[in-house]
Amino acid sequence: MTEILSGRTRIYGIIGCPVEHSFSPLMQNAAFDALKIDARYLAFSVKPEQIPQAIAGIRALNIHGVNVTVPHKSSVISCL
Torsion, Cα 15 17 22 27, to 10 degrees, reads 0
Q: Which of 37, 73, 75, 77 is catalytic?
A: 73
- What are the backbone dihedrals phi and psi of residue 33, each rounded to the nearest 5 degrees, phi first? -65, -45
Whether 47 is catalytic is no
The number of angstroms, rounded, from the C-alpha of 25 to the middle of its chain's C-alpha atoms is 8
Q: Give the integer Cα–Cα distance in Å for 70 and 10.
A: 24
Active site residues: 73
